[in-house]
Structure 1
Amino acid sequence: MPVAQETLPERPAAADAAGRAGTAQAAEAGAARPARLRRGGRAGWPRILLALAGGLVLWLAFPPADLTPLAPVGVALLTLALRGLPARTGAWLGFAGGVAFFVPVLDGIVKVGPDGWIVLSLIQALYWAPMGAGIALVTRLPGWPVWTAALWVAQEAVRGRVPFGGFPWARLAFSQTASAFTPWAAVGGAPLVTFLTALVGELTAYAVVATAGARRGLRPHRAGARPVAVALAVSTAVVGGAFLIPTPTGGKTVTVAVIQGNVPRLGLDFLGQRRAVLDNHVRRTHELAARVRAGQLPRPELVVWPENASDLDPFAEPDAYAAIDGAVKDIGVPVLVGALVDTPDGQKVENRGIVWDPRTGPGDYYVKRHPVPFGEYLPFRSLLTKLITRFERIPRDFAKGTRSGVLRLGPTTIGDVICFEVAYDKEVRDVSAGSLLVVQTNNATYGRTSLPPQQIAMSRLRAIEHGRTILVAATSGISAVVAPDGRMLYRSREFVPDMHVAAVPARTSRTVADRLGAAPEWALVLLAVGAVAAAARSTARQDEGN
């Protein structure tokens, strides 16, 4: 006899499907947390490692490694790590990439103290957080390589201004001082060089994404080849277009001399040997005069001393005045003397470049407009000196200058900037009316680190940007003479006394970058802001639709 089977009530098909979906979602949710932990959080370990690699590769594009072609590669790696992530995840991943970049690129700050080096590096990396969030958003838009490249300019614009006047060191453009991107500085300055360097990197990432999509069958191979062709064409136009930009080198010839007196020893406490530093520069100038009289060197028409050549105030110290004046009279031509001078009230110090004439003595001068925060002046002095005893080494703040450093020096005009000011677009642009540009610097504290060669790289970019010969005078090196087309005509070794005499072109014509001023930077910043706003609005609408 057949066995009776129990008949079960029939489930509706919709309920059955919902049950299966719920079971699948529950299983996925149960496995999600440990999987995310294994992958390193929401970003995933592959993306984290990609962002860190991007920062490290970008660092290698900067001096002293000078592997300039790696800059676009580093940009591409960072973008591939950020693309498609939520903005919040993109922010912290951008910060991670920034840490991987700034810690090694600013390693010279360790001479001040490991704590200062790490703190400064972390602060600089924070600027990459909003950039990372922005890149994560705008890579969802059509044409995203353009918007992401503009975000690099926006990040550098903020970092170079806020807070305390900003810290524009290690900008993307400063890795490209001898590359196919460099001539574009004469058109749009450092911001345009940053944009184009980033753009080629972003186009590389764009091509990688398109190729990967075609391989996974997300789009036809023919359609995947189209973005690759576009990326290659635009990159070729950027690189090829640079060869069409003129980099003139002609001009009235002026014979100049750069003096590097050297310092007695490395470290912060070299300032305690102020007289020895002054004597070194006085001695080298007397030696220059003797060699000119002997016919061994041509007679210069002007001489440049570095920043801090005299830490003794020549207007308060008769011996210092006499030593400088004697050296200037011996060489018989005007000397630009870097000296520290007390303000009239004695409360602050001015970091000056003084035009010292052999007949009339000290005359016109320039006062550094961008003293270094926490190095030459202390924000929140009353609080910080109680917390950090090292700041006692800065007993008085440096005063801030109020006018540009265009000075008459012998037969020509010069545009003087002091030390880190060469990193600031506006400060250098303001003095580009001079026929020669001068960078007076004191790198003794950071000697034999990455910072002096990075500063020279900036000077090379500025030479092309403004079409000017640049004279770099450093107390302990690196001193240099850079031609208007960026060629190095002279470069000293570090921590040796040195001098150099050269006939260089003094130019008065203005570049396109001089005429446009800050307009290219602000246009690219607005482009970045507009792209982020459009991407955020689009993302919000998609979230509402879901």
Structure 2
Amino acid sequence: MTVTATSVGQPDRAEPHPAPGGRAGRLLRLAPAAASAFCGLLLYVSFPPRTLWWLALPAFAGFGWVLRGRSAKAALGLGYLFGLGFLLPLLVWTGVEVGPGPWLALVVIEAVFIALVGAGVAAVSRLPAWPVWAAAVWIAGEAVRARVPFRGFPWGKIAFGQADGVFLPLAAVGGTPVLGFAVVLCGFGLCEAGRLIAERRRTRSVRRAAATAALLSVAVPVAGALAARALVSDAAEDGTATVAVVQGNVPRSGLEFNAQRRAVLDYHARETRKLAADVEAGRVPRPDYVLWPENSSDIDPFEYPDAAAVIEEAARAVGVPVSVGGVVEKDGRLLNEQILWDPVEGPTQTYDKRQVQPFGEYLPLRSLIGAINENWTSMVRQDFSRGGKPGVFDIHGAKVGLATCYEAAFDWAVRDTVTHGAEMISVPSNNATFDRSEMTYQQLAMSRIRAVEHSRTVAVPVTSGVSAIIMPDGRITRRTGMFVPAHLVQKVPLRTSTTPATELGVLPEIALVLVAAGGIGWAAGTGLRARRAGDA
């Protein structure tokens, strides 16, 4: 075998893609498209509720193999097919109750971002150490998706599929961008390793620089994940708290659950009274506070005394403060609000959801959408307003951060609860609209990532399930079923230290976006010089 060196400053030339003729040739030309869509589907299968996190690696290995050396036009199409293969099944829950129209529209738009990423990956695939540049391009695409349009939609970040994976500790190093980068880098590194093995069989030689880059692309993420395990701990640093999570359930799933607002409130009050009875009987320890889910009282307790009376009775029965998810109207503004209800003092603290969900809690382009289908506008009759301050409830000295439902998908919305003093985090949610779809498991995985990212216990109270208590190392120690009333009680650690991810915030993502921009700039400059040389 002959080993040859490649100049580090020169792009690594990709093999041309042959275009044979005839029927066999036409089938072969369709193979990259089919492979790209299949790799997208493989990436979807790696996401919860399945624990096949490792399938993300061959998914990106295959995606890199398909894209390497392609033209921008071809890469756009192949990237779009990859996006469809991934997002169509991943986001099917968005059409559970409203039909396929909004689901398909969302996927069609979101897949455009992945198509652009595909073009970027193809461009940098000609550079030395291309897996590094290509993985950074993917994370840059995620960064854009998390911000536009309509303040972003980060669902489907690669990090959110890694709650059971070996790379999970990297969330504590640099959050979802670093965790996702490591997974994608490893996948593209496997692609490059496979390509070099094929090249060795064909030419009996291996280029040393390319082989080293492929090896490091696989080894460094794995080694980094192993080293990062030292950052993961569930030890108490400021004592412990006994927390109770109440899942009251809903009368029925789907959008109609909202028509039974008083029933939902009554269900949560009833389950809280059951919790109080279990405490009095000694079956469970007395909690320090109780967490109800989002929308557990869609009747404004500040406006309707009967709703306030139900909540007050439940709080007095259990004898500790209860965090209630309410829908309230203040000064003409509709707010998705968490209310801390003390059994003696009544409502004492509030948090208004800041990242409200487009098309769920407010309707962008209302007049245009109404012109297409007026029934769609009736589902969101009044837009929710955004809160302006991070939510941290001080409950007898324990500081509980709040990230309501959809906010768990956004890095900033969880991080700033910790930077404002949260010693644990609550993610109150309402998934009843989405029936028994995979949505609730995908969202639960996000909370597991957040637990490790910020080294905090995360409690997840959900109206209809799955509710859970998650330790700072990402382990689920208590969980409920779906569409059953239940309560969970557990002593959890309160932590005050911060991880590198919490300290660095958005900086790792900015760094990776700059790497991606540098790689694309280098590739564009190299291509321009090559064209000028050809013209000369």
TM-score normalised over the length of structure 1: 0.90
Pairwise CA distance, 1:243: 3.7
Aligned residue in 1 for 2:95: 110
The answer to whether 1:457 aligns with 2:438 is no
Aligned residue in 2 for 1:529: 517
Find the partner of 1:203 among 189, 198, 221: 189
Find the partner of 1:410 among 396, 405, 412: 396
Aligned residue in 2 for 1:143: 129
Pairwise CA distance, 1:230: 4.3
Question: 2: CA distance between counterparts of 1:407 and 1:264?
Answer: 30
Aligned-partner SS, 1:448: coil
Please tell me the residue identity of whatever aligns with 1:438.
Answer: S
Aligned residue in 2 for 1:11: none
Aligned residue in 2 for 1:268: 255
Question: 2: CA distance between counterparts of 1:299 and 1:483?
Answer: 20
Aligned residue in 2 for 1:394: 380
Aligned residue in 2 for 1:358: 343
* Count of residues in correspondence between the two structures: 512
Find the partner of 1:486 among 458, 474, 478: 474
Aligned pairs for 1:301-320 (under 5 A) are 301-320=288-307
Please tell me the residue identity of whatever aligns with 1:190.
Answer: T
Question: 2: CA distance between counterparts of 1:542 and 1:322?
Answer: 76
Pairwise CA distance, 1:142: 0.4
CA contact (8 A) 1:183 1:247 kept: no
Find the partner of 1:44 among 13, 18, 29: 29
Aligned-partner SS, 2:284: coil
Please tell me the residue identity of whatever aligns with 1:120.
Answer: L
Aligned residue in 1 for 2:227: 241
CA contact (8 A) 2:299 2:307 kept: yes
Question: 2: CA distance between counterparts of 1:230 and 1:150?
Answer: 15
Residue deviations 1:6-63, cap 9 Å, x none?
Answer: xxxxxxxxxxxxxxxxxxxxxxxxx9796599537xx922211221121011111101
Pairwise CA distance, 1:250: 2.4
Aligned residue in 2 for 1:168: 154
Aligned pairs for 1:131-530 (under 5 A) are 131-217=117-203, 219-220=205-206, 229-251=215-237, 252-345=239-332, 348-388=333-373, 389-432=375-418, 433-530=421-518
CA contact (8 A) 1:215 1:221 kept: no
CA contact (8 A) 2:232 2:455 kept: no
> 386-395 vs 70-79, which deviates more?
386-395
Larger Rg: 1
Question: 1: CA distance between counterparts of 2:214 and 2:19?
Answer: 35
CA contact (8 A) 2:84 2:108 kept: yes
Question: 1: CA distance between counterparts of 2:277 and 2:206?
Answer: 77
Pairwise CA distance, 1:245: 3.8
Pairwise CA distance, 1:220: 4.8
CA contact (8 A) 1:261 1:281 kept: yes
- Residues 212 and 223 (structure 1), Cα distance of their counterparts in 2 relative to 1, 3 Å cut: farther
Aligned residue in 1 for 2:57: 72
Seq. identity, %: 44
CA contact (8 A) 2:132 2:217 kept: no
Question: 2: CA distance between counterparts of 1:385 and 1:222?
Answer: 61
Residue deviations 1:125-169, cap 9 Å, x none?
Answer: 111011000000001000101101111110110000001110001
Aligned-partner SS, 1:441: coil
Aligned residue in 2 for 1:22: none
- Residues 230 and 290 (structure 1), Cα distance of their counterparts in 2 relative to 1, 3 Å cut: closer
Residue deviations 1:458-496, cap 9 Å, x none?
Answer: 000100000100010000001000001111111110000
Residue deviations 1:61-92, cap 9 Å, x none?
Answer: 10122200111111111111100001121112
Residue deviations 1:345-372, cap 9 Å, x none?
Answer: 2xx4100001111111112111111111
- Residues 204 and 485 (structure 1), Cα distance of their counterparts in 2 relative to 1, 3 Å cut: same
Question: 1: CA distance between counterparts of 2:396 and 2:351?
Answer: 16
Please tell me the residue identity of whatever aligns with 1:316.
Answer: E
Pairwise CA distance, 1:208: 1.0
CA RMSD, aligned part only? Answer: 2.0
Question: 2: CA distance between counterparts of 1:260 and 1:132?
Answer: 42
- Residues 239 and 509 (structure 1), Cα distance of their counterparts in 2 relative to 1, 3 Å cut: closer
Question: 2: CA distance between counterparts of 1:278 and 1:394?
Answer: 21
Aligned residue in 1 for 2:7: none
Residue deviations 1:268-310, cap 9 Å, x none?
Answer: 1110000100000011111111221222221111000000001
CA contact (8 A) 1:333 1:410 kept: no
- Residues 393 and 239 (structure 1), Cα distance of their counterparts in 2 relative to 1, 3 Å cut: closer
Residue deviations 1:190-244, cap 9 Å, x none?
Answer: 1100000011101101101111111221745988865664455435423433444
Aligned residue in 2 for 1:91: 76
Pairwise CA distance, 1:516: 0.9
Say which structure, 1 or 2, has more relative contact order (CA 8 Å, 6+ apart).
Answer: 2
Question: 2: CA distance between counterparts of 1:200 and 1:284?
Answer: 46
Question: 1: CA distance between counterparts of 2:307 and 2:76?
Answer: 53
Please tell me the residue identity of whatever aligns with 1:539.
Answer: G
Please tell me the residue identity of whatever aligns with 2:322.
Answer: V
Question: 2: CA distance between counterparts of 1:106 and 1:186?
Answer: 27
Aligned-partner SS, 1:216: helix
Please tell me the residue identity of whatever aligns with 1:142.
Answer: P
> 102-111 vs 437-446, which deviates more?
102-111
CA contact (8 A) 2:128 2:210 kept: no
Please tell me the residue identity of whatever aligns with 1:431.
Answer: T
Please tell me the residue identity of whatever aligns with 2:495.
Answer: R
Structure 1 spans left out of the alignment, 5+ residues: 1-30
CA contact (8 A) 2:43 2:59 kept: yes
Question: 1: CA distance between counterparts of 2:386 and 2:222?
Answer: 45
CA contact (8 A) 2:241 2:491 kept: yes
Pairwise CA distance, 1:501: 0.8
